[in-house]
Amino acid sequence: PNFTIVGMSLLGASGDLAKKKTFPALFGLYLQGYLPANTRIIGYARTKMDRADYLNRISQHIKNKNTPKVKTTLDQFLVQSSYVAGVYDKDDGFQRLEQEIRRVEIETGAKDRLFYMALPPSVFIPVANGLKKNCYTNKGINRLIIEKPFGMDLESSRKLSDALAPLWREDEIYRIDHYLGKEMVKNIMVLRFTNMMFSSCWDKDHIENIQITFKEKIGTEGRGGYFDEFGIMRDVMQNHLFQVLSLIAMEPPASMSAEVIRDEKVKVLRAIEPVRESEVLLGQYGPSEDGVHPGYLDDETVPQGSKTATFAAATFYVNNRRWQGVPFIIKCGKALDQQKVDIRVQFKEHGGNLFPGLSNARNELVIRVQPEEAVYLKMTQKLPGLGMNTVMTDLDLSYASRFTQLAIPEAYEALILDALNGEQSNFVRKDELDEAWRIFTPVLHKIDRGLVPVEIYPYGSRGPRSLPDFIRRFGYERGSMA
Ligand code: BG6
């Protein structure tokens, strides 16, 4: 490792996110030798528990604990982990945290500090404040990682930003959008800006439409309380999928510096008008057709009669020279027929009619983010044989068969390592956040007031029945698309 942060404090250490994502990622990095051997992780949360309880809790989600290497490394990792219990809105807890950090710093000789807030938004500001007041060092670096949701709309997001700004400098704040840590999302810029065959035709003259699809097979299953307040548009579209859209649509940055990259992403967002109600389709899942899976409203954590959308499709236009008139269609939903995230760039028809039976030769570039990372290009070929028949087939780069020796890192591993290295490119800047909220806020407010209809779809289906019509209005549909 070529960074100097050894002491990491994890706020919200007894929560779900910490257990499921943050600890496994920290341990994964440690196991692979990406963290200094003497790394110290200090957990902080409200729950009063002793160290043994805490260690037990955080090792729960570590995989392959029975293999010797994992076991010995985990034992070491746990020896270097400690826990401080304290509330989020009083100084004394943070003072105890400060004492623990100092103890660690004396032991390790390190001076730089990373704070990771895996916390609900209601305590963001009190904690950011408590940390600044009690645990901020003037002897070294301070960095603060924050998790979404960053507000509910433009106004609440600005409020958070305004409260944070006097406490922490923008170059100290790392807002996580874990989609930016995904291998295939990181691949977008490489694909676009190093391959002439894509960079030369990445525009309205060659591209008909772009579709970004996020599908999950499971419903909210017990997370309904959190989810219901937000809905699918706030949960994944405004953040994760919009980050993907920015990377697909941005102009080439002049360099790979974090500020330059984020400047370009902000410029694209500025060229997008707020999404209109007529360009949104909402759905909520009901019970599955066979009656096995309960509907959203049957989830006990969901308020009765909720109109919250678990599915949304929306179309956006980027009003600049490159993209004028090209629809960007985003679809996302829970309790659908498959689990999949992909980006489809649908090129225009080639035109001409040289080959019999071939009326619409067009290419489609597919970037499959998950599962089974792949890039493939649909293209027309001669069907092998004596005739001159054509067939649409794939030029297929599936990672599992091409990069057999290379593991694909977890998004959280990639991002935590970036934060340790002071690399901000894959973190969300304040103005990016503002622009994304500007685009979504008017329609979200209408949705919140129940002014946008919500169509019920069966659990495990392809989504609302009117989805194919919706897509047809803007783009071109092939069998596998919806
Ligand atoms: C989270 C959302 O941010 O992203 C979840 O809150 C969603 O609702 C998750 O399931 C999807 O992430 P991934 O990495 O599983 O695609």
Amino acid at site 368? R
Cβ–Cβ under 8 Å, residues 310 and 221: no
Q: Is 236 in the pocket of ligand 1 (CB under 6 A)?
A: yes
Q: Is 228 in the pocket of ligand 1 (CB under 6 A)?
A: no
pLDDT digits (tens, 9 = 90+) for 51-88: 999 999 888 889 888 899 999 999 999 999 999 999 99
- Among protein residues, the one with the nearest Cα to ligand 1's atom 9 is 236
- Among protein residues, the one with the nearest Cα to ligand 1's atom 7 is 236
Cβ–Cβ under 8 Å, residues 232 and 216: no
Query: C-alpha distances in angstroms, 292 versus 218, 287, 289, 310?
Result: 13, 7, 8, 19
Pocket test for ligand 1, best of 235, 301, 369 (most atoms within 8 A of CB): 235
Distance, CA 159 to ligand 1 centroid (Å)? 25
Mean pLDDT of 311-329: 97
Mean pLDDT of 283-305: 95
| pLDDT score, position 481 | 34
Which atom, in ligand 1's list, is nearest to the CA of 220? Answer: 8
Token digits for 81? 């982990």
Tell me the angle at which helices 154-164 and 124-135 cross, rounded to the nearest 10 degrees.
Answer: 10
Q: Which residues lie closer than 8 Å to 229 by C-beta, 6 or more apart?
A: 152
Q: Is 359's pLDDT higher than 70?
A: no
pTM above 0.90, yes or no: yes
Strands (E) in 216-310, as ranges, are 280-286
For residue 360, name the pLDDT band (cuts at 50, 70, 90). confident
CB environment 168-195: b (16+ within 10 A), e (fewer): beeebbbbbbbbbbbbbbbbbbebbeee
Which atom, in ligand 1's list, is nearest to the CA of 178? Answer: 14
Pocket test for ligand 1, best of 236, 239, 308, 415 (most atoms within 8 A of CB): 236
**Could you list the active site residues?**
240
Q: Is 222's pLDDT higher than 90?
A: no
Distance, CA 238 to ligand 1 centroid (Å)? 12
pLDDT digits (tens, 9 = 90+) for 89-145: 999 999 999 999 999 999 999 999 999 999 988 899 999 999 999 999 999 999 999
Reported ipTM: 0.97
pLDDT digits (tens, 9 = 90+) for 299-319: 999 999 999 999 999 999 999
Question: What SS3 class is residue 98?
Answer: helix
Cβ–Cβ under 8 Å, residues 190 and 161: no
